[in-house]
Structure 1
Amino acid sequence: MFGSFKRILAMGLGSALLAGCAVIPDAGSPRPETSGPVTSAPPAAPDMTALPQDEDRHRVALLVPMSGENAEVGQSIANATTMALLDTGAENLRITTYDTSGGAASAARRAVADGNRLILGPLQRDNVGDVLSVARANNVPLITFSNDTTVARNDVFVMGHVPEQSVERTVDFAMDQGASRFAILAPRGDYGNRTTVAAERAVQARGGTIVDVQRYDRGNTSIISAADRLATTGGYDTVLIADNARLAAMAAPRLKDAGDSLPSLIGTELWSRQGSLLNSAEMRGAWFAAVPDDRYRQFASSYESRFGQQPFRIATLGYDAVLLTLRLTRDWRPGRDLPEGLLTDDGGFLGLDGPIRFQSNGIGERAMEVRQVGNGAFTVVSPAPTGF
């Protein structure tokens, strides 16, 4: 199913011949074309904002913050797209980066004016509406790096790692191990709301029971107080702690003693690559689901050798977006609108983060593995499916 895509991925990650790196041209990078001789007047100055007239390349825009507080994240994604272009030897794509920090709508207008037929980005969900208002009028779809499913549409495809899917996968695994009565410890706000609803839906779908839900304001003492309230309630065999590793480790001793098998503790994708969990005796045996990390480790090593630093974890989305775009070019002619339905292939696409397929509503469905927190190491206790 993924044979051809695996060859692209293997070529990218295994190539040792690509020693250099290229800079993705900015929207304003000068690329003047050669003018013919003029006898009556000096040649006109080249348009320093014009892109070359590519007839055999697909123009794809990358909309990420390249300045401001999120500049390092945006640069990491941009670097990853450069890596993907180099690793695959893609000559049929021109990816141009547009900085959303000065205004996502204006970045989108420049991208559309430059003839881009697909937008990768934006990064932040709050920018999706501004970009979409410009892109939709020009029939340009978005593949956003956000993980917020509320922005998904039939022309907005959410590529981020969706926390609801992590929660549902972990709840299913816990119930397969015999869990049936759940409690939820979640922060107030959007993330807590999303994970709480996802857990309630997953538990009820399997015939389980939600015994108690405790919410708290994020802070060093609030989660402890909420955990104490939960401990007083009792009557549950499993607790979802929908927060980061540091806060989860603070709450765990209020819920169980080190070495106790119950209640089981489960978490979310926020625990991925959080080594501090391994230092907590109370967290041992806890489960959480995330996309597989095997290919990420290879990617991170290659990234560091090229750019001199470790990438942000989200940078894989930039790499995978290029692999996905290359897959689309098989049935997409340069200069034309992206044909409807290409992004919703039932078989999905394979990238660094494993298989992903976009549903008709724009939500990217991912295959996740379940990991267990151990004594000094994480163990995969339920591998991710290899396809759909």
Structure 2
Amino acid sequence: MASRFNVTKPAALAMALGAALFLGGCQGGITGGPQAPQGPAAPGAIGGPSAPILAPGMPIPADPAGYVQAPGITGEPIRVALLLPFTHPSAEAKQIAQALLDSAQLAVIESGNRQIFLMPRDTKGTIEGAQAAANQALAEGAEIVLGPLFAQTVTAAAPIVKARNIPMIAFSTDRAVASQGVYLLSFQAEEEVASAVRYARAQGRTSFAGLFPASAYGQRVQAAFEKAVGESGGMVMGTALYGPTPQEMLAAVRSLPRGFDAVLLPEGGQALRTLAPLLPFNNIDPRTVKFLGTGLWDDRSILSEPSIKGGWFAAPDPIVREGFAQRFKETYGYTPPRIASLAYDAISLVNTYAAGAPYQRYQTTTFLDPNGYQGIDGIFRFRPDGTIERGLAIIEVTETGFETIGAAPVTFQAIGF
């Protein structure tokens, strides 16, 4: 019988989980085993039957009789809901959802905590789907919710989860959907922009320009850029918005005034490779004007574009996550997308507080340790408003790859809250 989601079971993972994983393949959750590969793995299992999807709206009262059971677990399991768009119409969204699930499975195994019971539930990427998935997870006994992925689905599910005083660790990058008890474990461009601008100012850059996509993301990043430049004592010489076509990008580049010595390009992938060469084509010389970016630059495909060589961007240090990426690829046979590490860190947070009493260990204020946490991508901590603060490195694009030129902090003690 096929499972509801693609619970990946390559050889390395199957050996870690044991025979029970194969026998439970059509059930509703995933349990952990000892850390791999240091020792022999204890049996894990795919958990109990899935409850029917409930109508959207506020959650039903808690009823332990309806909680999903976890075969192979002695005592009360730690029921962890994972809300992701497994059946989203976009192939890319489905691939990201699967990678997050795979990463969470890997974290469960490597945690060594056999009580963690992972419950993947499909949001479909819609408001209604997110509400239904949240209600289903609560009815099945989830005591913490990981996900959703998209801002609109976080907004839809959050009131349902918060009404039960259960924390949510979501993966959206939109700071607007964070709140007390709804933590955003993500890479937030506003923070990356501020770090890049501060570093540029420290290196003597004084006048800035920025090019931004004409989208909600672009508006958020533009506001963060203008704030960061002002707070660091620099001057914004000009900004421009552009549409998705090369012609619109070219018009935006041509509209910029001249005289700035740094320019922000908060794009990645093909969009960056299209936009960046338009600047030297219009006499904005990267040898004298420093090109700045965000964590979207942390993508080796951009190395083929000569104009961004020597550019700086702020992101978690890519060296730190190399071990995770290697273990992931060895286990699943493919390279994890950039955000896959988020699910791993979410499970690590679950395990950090797992020793507490069931249904009391995870509260909406649990994850506010001012000292933060060490994750796959370096240190991070949550603010009381649910947004995340990361220890970011400054990275330079070189002829051969990425070089860290500003080390990420290893502690928050010198920063304060």
Task: Identify the TM-score tier after normalising by the shorter chain.
Answer: 0.7 to 0.9
Q: How does 1:231-270 map to 2 (within 5 A)?
A: 233-256=257-280, 261-270=287-296
Q: How does 1:153-168 map to 2 (within 5 A)?
A: 153-168=179-194
CA RMSD of aligned residues (A): 2.6
Query: How far does residue 266 in structure 1 lie from its aligned partner after superposition?
Result: 0.4
CA contact (8 A) 2:86 2:98 kept: yes
Q: TM-score, normalised by structure 2?
A: 0.79
Does residue 293 (structure 1) correspond to residue 318 (structure 2)? The answer is: yes
Cross-structure match for 1:212: 238
CA contact (8 A) 1:303 1:310 kept: yes
Write the deviation string for residues 244-271 of structure 1: whole angstroms up to 9, x where unpaired. 2433333334433697521111011111
Distance 1:217 1:123, change over 3 A: same
Q: TM-score, normalised by structure 1?
A: 0.85
Report the Cα distance in structure 1 between the residues aligned to 2:49 and 2:353, rounded to whole angstroms: 23
Q: How does 1:337-356 map to 2 (within 5 A)?
A: 338-356=362-380
Which amino acid counterpart does residue 325 of structure 2 have in structure 1? Answer: A
| 3-state SS of paired residue (1:94) | strand
Cross-structure match for 1:135: 161
CA contact (8 A) 2:111 2:351 kept: no
Cross-structure match for 2:82: 62
Report the Cα distance in structure 2 between the residues aligned to 1:242 and 1:385, rounded to whole angstroms: 23
More relative contact order in 1 or in 2 (CA 8 Å, sep 6+)?
Answer: 1
Cross-structure match for 2:221: 195
Report the Cα distance in structure 2 between the residues aligned to 1:202 and 1:148, rounded to whole angstroms: 18
Which amino acid counterpart does residue 51 of structure 1 have in structure 2? Answer: Q
| 3-state SS of paired residue (1:329) | coil
Report the Cα distance in structure 2 between the residues aligned to 1:195 and 1:150, rounded to whole angstroms: 13
Distance 1:71 1:278, change over 3 A: closer
Of Structure 1 and Structure 2, which has the larger fraction of its residues in helix? Answer: 1
| Worse-superposed segment, 196-205 or 244-253 | 244-253
Distance 1:222 1:258, change over 3 A: closer
Equivalent in 138, 157, 163 of residue 112 of structure 1? 138
Distance 1:259 1:212, change over 3 A: closer
CA contact (8 A) 2:211 2:252 kept: yes
Write the deviation string for residues 33-88 of structure 1: whole angstroms up to 9, x where unpaired. xxxxxxxxxxxxxx999424974332211111222332221111111111111112
What percentage of aligned pairs have identical amino acids?
A: 29
Query: How far does residue 223 in structure 1 lie from its aligned partner after superposition?
Result: 1.2
Distance 1:263 1:97, change over 3 A: same
Cross-structure match for 1:3: none
Which amino acid counterpart does residue 159 of structure 1 have in structure 2? Answer: L
Report the Cα distance in structure 2 between the residues aligned to 1:191 and 1:200, rounded to whole angstroms: 14
Cross-structure match for 1:39: none
Cross-structure match for 1:33: none
Figure out how many residues of one structure are paired with residues of the other and give that number: 357
Which amino acid counterpart does residue 307 of structure 2 have in structure 1? Answer: E
Cross-structure match for 2:407: 383
Equivalent in 111, 114, 125 of residue 91 of structure 1? 114
Report the Cα distance in structure 2 between the residues aligned to 1:134 and 1:55, rounded to whole angstroms: 27
Distance 1:194 1:22, change over 3 A: farther
